[in-house]
Amino acid sequence: MSNLDANTTVLIVPGLRDHVENHWQTLLAHRLPNVRTVTPLTTEKLSCSARVQAIAQALEQIDGPVILVAHSAGVLMTVHWAAQYERSIKGALLVAPPDLEIEWPSPYPSSETMRVHGWVPLPRTPLPFPSIVAGSSNDALASFESVESMARDWQATLVNLGDVGHLNPASGYGDWPQADAFIEQLDIQPTL
């Protein structure tokens, strides 16, 4: 990622499973020069407010421009964070956001569990920073139509990645080089 501004920090926002060794976010973090990852929770792992606070704490440690790179429930965390905090963000890559209005397959938590832990309602107002929402046409956690609706409400650029499942190791994805191009695209955006 030689074209990334040296002053820009990429903050990785993992989903509920936090650090997965062969996940594209983990591999991205290993190769980027200026990257941080939101620290995994040791307690209250399903608490939306605890997850949002973890993002806020990570951002407090970063000076200068930031690009957020979120996957799955990390997208939901990012959107909840944006609704509660004011911080200049250069842009966000929001990948495979799950639909909180459907039942997810096992072993993912139930919609009732997510509701009880504060994930519902999901903010659907425009995000205060440029965003790219990348969705799959065959994700078991969200139809492409629901991803399209979220992107529209957040006023984000929508990208259909095709049949990539949930874009995780279980779907056959470790490294995902296309993330680099999306991050570079966000890096050239002016900071709001």
The reply to whether 3 falls in a domain is no
pLDDT over threshold 90, residue 17: no
pLDDT over threshold 50, residue 192: no
The reply to whether 166 falls in a domain is yes
**57-92 confidence digits (pLDDT tens):** 999 999 999 999 999 999 999 999 999 999 999 999
Angular region, 92: left φ>0, alpha ψ -120 to 50, beta rest? beta
- Residue 165 neighbours by CB under 8 Å, 6+ apart: 136, 138, 139, 140, 171, 172, 173
Residue 1 binned pLDDT confidence (cut-offs 50, 70, 90): very low
The reply to whether 98 falls in a domain is yes
Q: Which comes out higher in pLDDT, residue 115 or 169?
A: 115
The reply to whether 2 falls in a domain is no
pTM over 0.75, yes/no = yes
Question: The domain spanning residue 111 has which CATH number?
Answer: 3.40.50.1820
Range in 6-10, 55-59, 185-189 with the lowest mean pLDDT: 185-189
**104-157 confidence digits (pLDDT tens):** 998 899 999 999 999 999 999 999 999 999 999 999 999 999 999 999 999 999
- Residue 115 neighbours by CB under 8 Å, 6+ apart: 100
Q: What is the pLDDT of residue 190?
A: 54
**How many domains does one find in the chain?**
1
Query: Containing domain of residue 140, as a range?
Result: 9-187
> What share of the chain in percent tops pLDDT 70?
96
Residue found by looking up tokens 């074209």 in the block = 3
The reply to whether 69 falls in a domain is yes
The reply to whether 35 falls in a domain is yes
Residue found by looking up tokens 């955006």 in the block = 189
The reply to whether 1 falls in a domain is no
Q: What is the pLDDT of residue 173?
A: 83
Q: What is the pLDDT of residue 169?
A: 87
The reply to whether 119 falls in a domain is yes
Q: What is the pLDDT of residue 189?
A: 58
pLDDT over threshold 60, residue 42: yes
